[in-house]
Amino acid sequence: MKNYFFYFAFIFSLLLMTHSAYSTSNKIPQACLDALSIQTKESEIKWTMRPAKGPKGSVRFIYQAVISEKGETLLGMEKRPDFIYLSLKTKEQIKFYKLIPSSPENCHGELLRTEKTTKKATNQKLEQSKVENRGFLDQDLRKLLKDSKEGIIFLWSPHMPYSVGSLYPLQKIAKKLKLPLTVLMDPLADDRETKKVIKRFSLPLKLTKKNRAERLLLQGASLHYPNYFFYKEGKVSHIQLFGAKGEEAIHDALKSLASK
């Protein structure tokens, strides 16, 4: 019960931090549900918003709901400017659709592709990543400071649910300001918990590199998660943020760094 409480508290915090990820409401027209033979009324679908793997290892947000009439089938939805991108996931496969509502009574649905559900392959990749992942060392930090004039280092932990949600506003700021972003994980993170979080939020495995740089640990990298380090001209700044932060707080920290 405790895990559920933290999960829903986490989802609520995401809604506050992102000021709503979508300008339109999270609804699928009933005509589109009917066209897909989903025997559920639009008004009965209970949506939650969760992180998902985006292009080039980024994190994006999708709406997701469990369709009770179909057992463990998950319905995923993203609102795009001109259409609805929808997925139907079962134990065996995932079907991806492009839906274009032409009127309240009609909906054009196009099956884009079908993929098999590969849970075993995901577990194998995670195990392989664990073997290959020597972690982020002091020598890696020195190289990062040498190669990048300015940037952000973000540390998260699978044991702290708010860590994952903080990735979203951080990525937006880093992309907007064209700053390199290095994402590292709690070096003491439990492997089983890491697997759970990776699976739940469909996170790219490259985000699981553990921080083992003593220089960052001595500056308080493990005091709390998530936390943020900022660096400039070869030096890690004393300016540091702890806890889940929105775009404004991150932007203010970068502004303070620029004035130093």
CA dihedral defined by 105, 99, 81, 62, rounded to 10 degrees?
Answer: 120
Domain regions of the chain by residue span: 2-117, 120-259
- What is the length of the chain? 260
Question: pLDDT tens digits, the chain, 260 residues: what are they?
Answer: 444 434 334 333 433 333 333 334 567 888 888 888 777 777 777 777 666 666 666 666 677 777 755 456 778 888 777 888 888 887 788 888 888 887 777 888 888 998 886 655 445 555 555 544 678 999 999 999 998 888 999 999 988 877 887 887 888 888 888 889 999 999 988 888 888 888 877 788 888 899 999 889 888 888 888 888 999 888 888 877 787 777 777 878 777 766 66
Strands (E), the chain: 48-53, 59-66, 74-79, 84-89, 93-103, 106-116, 150-156, 181-185, 227-232, 235-242
Residue 232 CA to residue 43 CA, distance in Å, equals 51
The hierarchical CATH code for the domain 120-259 is: 3.40.30.10
Looking at residue 58, what is its pLDDT?
66
Q: What is the rounded CA–CA span in Å between residue 92 and residue 120?
A: 12
Q: Which amino acid is at 87?
A: S
Measured CA to CA, the distance from residue 41 to residue 89 in angstroms comes to: 18
Q: What is the pLDDT of residue 18?
A: 34
Distance CA 180, CA 170 (A): 11
Name the β-bridge partners of 60. 52
Q: Which pairing describes strands 235-242 and 227-232: parallel, antiparallel, or unpaired?
A: antiparallel
Q: How far apart are CA 227 and CA 221, in angstroms?
A: 7
Name the token pair of 176: 């907007």
At 17, which amino acid appears? Answer: M
pTM: 0.54
pLDDT of residue 256: 73
The three-point CA angle 207-208-211 to 5° equals: 105
